[in-house]
Structure 1
């Protein structure tokens, strides 16, 4: 089970529920940047928790870049410039509000900057096991019985496998860090309702593996760029 699927299925603790509630309110502008959060007594009454528990909540949100606390000033909402968009919770909260055009474009730009390089490195460093995993991923993507979500998971598994084959653990971690956004994006662009498009998308991913197996870094990078752009354009 993927990290994102596991996180979605398990129940949230009281602490996590309050963090999520305030986090969503910050991301959606209920508490605007540079504004103070409601006074402590108001938050204590609203959530029915102790001061210690509230401080832990605020500490968690501060660690995600959403809040900053200053003596004699109080707890203020940070400018979005300081939000940690690679935090799994922050990204999940954003995606829960809908993968809008701006978020999709930002994701496209980050993926285009990193994933072609991962494919190029994989062409130089891949092992026999890496190639076996990449081919397994292609076979899984080609399964004609997918629904949107199962295809998205198979698509994600492929991109994680490319990161692993790059031999750079940071490349491997990239897909895991933004997993929830990738799953949402891949679900939007899933081709499973059109057999011809499904075949075309799988073939485009297979071209990445062919280039990696051939040791052609430039072709692997180009094939990855084409897959990323094509997915963006399908929405």
Structure 2
């Protein structure tokens, strides 16, 4: 049984990976730090070596650690982490609201989604149009229920990405999906989707269906900027600056 007061889900390997992952992303285990030995980790968490090895394999797959027979297992620099990994993003937010992370998520959305709209307007099929419209209709139908509208909103954005029919956009879109889920989740406590945001989604859908890519991109840019302002207002955080 894993020795922890926190609530973790999944099998033992997943649980131990989450416990160690949280220690890493919170800075308790800094980049360059050497993890305890397998025997020490077994004793700390009350699990077998097989479980510890499974946990370490998971963290290695997320780019958090690297291990060698001579140097042991050490924490990698943050530049090596799989930044779009859903678990990693969750752990970072659990460690404390990271305004720099939110800014970076905003920047990747601004770079990616408007161009996806522009490409989708050129290449979307009638089936893609129907999917985008259906997602928008679902958003309108469940707009008063935050959890439901969040899933419909996510489907709307992913339908646009898939409508590009560009394999690179689609692959990157699966990564950006995690960023979207985090961004939407920060606003999950709102009572519903405001009229202006719903209208902007409808305008984007219309522009894509009508082949007006530049207009779709412009409205998507405005929508992302509005989302960022809403998040800042929600958490009361200024936009951070990064060193040049």
Task: Please give the range of the TM-score, normalised by the shorter of the 2 chains.
Answer: 0.7 to 0.9
Report the TM-score, using the length of structure 2 for normalisation: 0.83
Structure 2 matches for 1:136-215, cutoff 5 A?
Answer: 136-143=134-141, 146-189=144-187, 193=191, 198-215=194-211
2:62 counterpart (45, 61, 64): 64
Report how far residue 45 of structure 1 moved: 0.5
Match of 2:227 in 1: 231
Deviation larger for 10-19 or 167-176: 167-176
Deviations 1:171-222 (A, max 9, x none): 234443343442232233469637xx72110111111112112212211211
Match of 2:83 in 1: 85
SS in 1 for 2:194: helix
Report how far residue 74 of structure 1 moved: 1.3
Structure 2 matches for 1:10-159, cutoff 5 A?
Answer: 11-97=9-95, 99-143=97-141, 146-159=144-157
Q: Give unmatched runs, 5+ long, in structure 2.
A: 1-7, 232-244
SS in 2 for 1:234: helix
The structure where helix makes up a greater share of residues is 1
Report the TM-score, using the length of structure 1 for normalisation: 0.86
Q: Give unmatched runs, 5+ long, in structure 1.
A: 1-9
Q: How many residues align?
A: 224
Question: RMSD between aligned alpha carbons?
Answer: 2.2
SS in 1 for 2:66: strand
Contact 1:118–1:166 (CA<8 Å) still a contact in 2? yes
